[in-house]
Amino acid sequence: MLPRTPEEVRAFFDAHRTVRQYRTQEDGSPLPLPPEHLEVILHAAQRAPTDATAQLYSLIRLSSPAARQAVAALTTNAHIATASEAFVVCADVHRVSRLLEVGGHAGGDFPAIAVHFGIGDSVLAGQNLLLAAELLGYQGCWIGGVMNGLDGLIDVLALPAGVLPFAALTIGTPAEEAPHRPRLPRELVIHTDAYRPAAPEELLAGIEIMNPIAAREGKPGDWLRLLRSYFGAGGGMEGREPGLRAALKRQGMWAGEESAGPRH
C-alpha cells in the first residue's frame, strides 16, 4: 500500500464523527452491510494488536431483532436496534482458560491483569473495526451505556465467568449531520518524558475550548456541567460504580474487596 500524505491522514481523522442516527430500510429495520464489507471489518478487528498473543476479547454481534431490542433497552441506547451492525465488545479471559484446560494445563489466578489486558485488547479490536468501517464510508458510535445494565447483559448474552461487557459499538450509513467535536489542547494530553501537571490557567483555557461540545438547542455550551453530571460528586459514574463492582465479582474478575479509588 502506498503511504498517504500527512494531509490525507489528517483529513481522514478529521472526518470522524460519532453518529447515532443511521439510514434504515423503509420499514425502519437495519440496512444490511454488503457481505464483503462486513467480512473486511471483522477481519480488521481480528488483526488488532494483542498482548502475549492471547486475544483477550470477544465481540458479540447482535443480529436478531430480539437481541438488538434487549441490548438497546439495557444500555438505554435505542440506535443499537437501527444500526447496520451492532456489537457488544467484551473483555474475555474465559477462552484462554479453556485453551489451557483442553491442552492439559491449569489456568492462573490474575483478576486484575484480566481486566487490564482484557479491556486493552477489547479497545484495540473495536477501534480497528470502527476504522475499517470508516474507510468504507460508514460512521459509528462507541457506547458506554453497557454500564447501565451489566447484570442483565451478562444474562441476555449468556456470558460465562471471565467475560465482561466493556462497551457496545454501532456502525452504519449516517442519517444525520453530526458535529465536529473539539478536543483539549495537545499540551494537556501529550506529555514528554514525564507527566506534567497542568497549571490552572491552562485547564481553564481547555474548558473554554471544550465548551461547544455541550451546546444544546442554540444555548452556549457548559462542558463542566457535562463533566459534573458524569464524574462529579453524585454523578452518573458514581451511580454506575456498584453495578460494575458487582459484575466484576460475578464474572470472577474482581481483584480485591476494597478500592482506594482514583488518585487526584
Residue 196 CA to residue 178 CA, distance in Å, equals 33
Per-residue pLDDT band for 217 (boundaries 50, 70, 90) equals confident
Q: What share of the chain is helix, strand, coil (3-state, %, to 5)?
A: 50, 15, 40
Query: Does the pLDDT at position 262 exceed 50?
Result: no
**pTM listed for this prediction:** 0.94
pLDDT band at 260 (very low <50, low <70, confident <90, very high): very low
Residue 218, pLDDT score:
78
* Cα distance from N-terminal residue to C-terminal residue, the chain: 45
Q: What is the pLDDT of residue 182?
A: 96
pLDDT at 2 over 90: no
Residue 264 has pLDDT above 80, yes or no: no
Secondary structure letter of residue 2 according to DSSP: P
pLDDT band at 258 (very low <50, low <70, confident <90, very high): low
> Over pLDDT 70: what percentage of the chain?
97
pLDDT digits (tens, 9 = 90+) for 99-145: 999 999 999 999 999 999 999 999 999 999 999 999 999 999 999 99
pLDDT digits (tens, 9 = 90+) for 37-54: 999 999 999 999 999 999
Residue range 20-36: mean pLDDT, rounded? 97
Are 87 and 153 contacting, i.e. CB atoms less than 8 angstroms apart? no
Q: What is the architecture of the domain spanning 17-172? A: 3-Layer(aba) Sandwich (3.40)
Tracing cell 477481519 back to the chain, one arrives at 43
The domain limits of the chain are 17-172, 186-245
Confidence of residue 263 (pLDDT cuts 50, 70, 90): very low
C-alpha cell at 51: 498482548
pLDDT-derived band at 256 (thresholds 50, 70, 90) equals: confident
Residue 230 has pLDDT above 50, yes or no: yes
- In order, the DSSP letters of 246-264 are HHHHHTT----S-------
Q: What is the DSSP string of 24-72?
A: B-TTS-B-PPPHHHHHHHHHHHHTS--GGG---EEEEE--SHHHHHHHH
Q: What is the pLDDT of residues 156-184, one digit of tens each?
A: 999 999 999 999 999 999 999 999 999 99
